[in-house]
Amino acid sequence: MDARRHRVGLTGFASMPPSPPARASAADLEILVRIRDILAGTRFALLTGAGLSTDSGIPDYRGPGSPPRTPMTYQEFVRDAANRQRYWARNHIGWSHLRHADPNPGHYAAAELERRGYLTGLITQNVDRLHEDAGSVNVIDLHGRFDQVVCLDCGRTYSRRLLAGMLEELNPEFLERAKKTGLVEMAPDADATVEDQALISSFVVAACPACGGTLKPDFVYFGENVPKDRVEKSYAMVDEAAALVVAGSSLTVMSGLRFVRHAAKDGKPVVIINRGETRGDDKATIKLEAGVSESLSWLAAELPPL
């Protein structure tokens, strides 16, 4: 495990004190107060998306100002060796960036809410593990985790750090060459956009050390199903809760939207904090379009003890 993860994981909320949303309008503050009053004295489930990690320097897919992105699907990855070469070349670059990301105040606020007993659990669509780094314990990584890889043939899992060493040996100076092209842009989920096709075609893909099979990041691709046990555990968190809070997710994919629909069907308040529209807006009891990290920090500071 990276030394950074030991250091950050032991950092408490006190070292990242919540501050009021300095740029919030009077209307936003009024909505925050209403959200506080809805959540006060209750235990709620928290569902987070990419909008929470943008303050940590990790791009999102659909936030305001985000460029159009076409992520590789699971089907494209498994059926074509050239696609896997392109993916792993980009991932090798993206991982070198993502692994240095640190939790932001929103991650620490979520950990503080859990510590104080407010959360029945935390469901995240992010694969960056920043919630765990910030100290959250009861976390379901709905879409998997970027710091592991899995062999599609034998099922063994390996750390992404180990794979990075293998890829460095197979592709010496690749990262340096990529930086020199100036045609690389960081993308979500440890991916990168690389325009130099000659650079991509030179990349050597690593095979499973045990069986020589195909390695894949241990997270859910577009076109791939979320494992059933994660879905069931997430539903249980929502069922145990008196409300559901969505923070930083556009709810575009069903993996997250299903929990909003489930909570609303049960008559539970649904709070959505996200910049821009979401697919769950019609189910929201209250919606706040504001900075996610600032809003969670304010709520963690303002919610009274249970």
- Furthest C-alpha separation in the chain: 60
- DSSP at 224: S
Between CA 207 and CA 218, with CA 213 as vertex, the angle to 5 degrees is: 80
Asked if residues 86 and 191 have their Cβ atoms less than 8 Å apart, the reply is no
Asked if residues 45 and 123 have their Cβ atoms less than 8 Å apart, the reply is yes
Encoded tokens for 72: 């590789």
Active-site annotation holder among 97, 107, 143, 262: 143
**How many CB atoms neighbour CB 100 within 10 A?**
11
Between CA 105 and CA 111, with CA 109 as vertex, the angle to 5 degrees is: 120
Give the torsion sign (CA, 52, 234, 45, 15).
negative
Nearest to 128 by CA among 187, 64, 175, 86: 187
Pairing of strands 139-141, 191-194: unpaired
Give the torsion sign (CA, 297, 226, 5, 62).
negative
| Rounded Cα–Cα distance for residues 74 and 78 (Å) | 6
Tell me the three state secondary structure of residue 235.
helix
Tell me the three state secondary structure of residue 123.
strand
Catalytic residue list contains 92 = no
Helices 81-98 + 160-170 axis angle, to 10: 110
| Rounded Cα–Cα distance for residues 104 and 258 (Å) | 27
**Among all residues, which ones are annotated catalytic?**
143
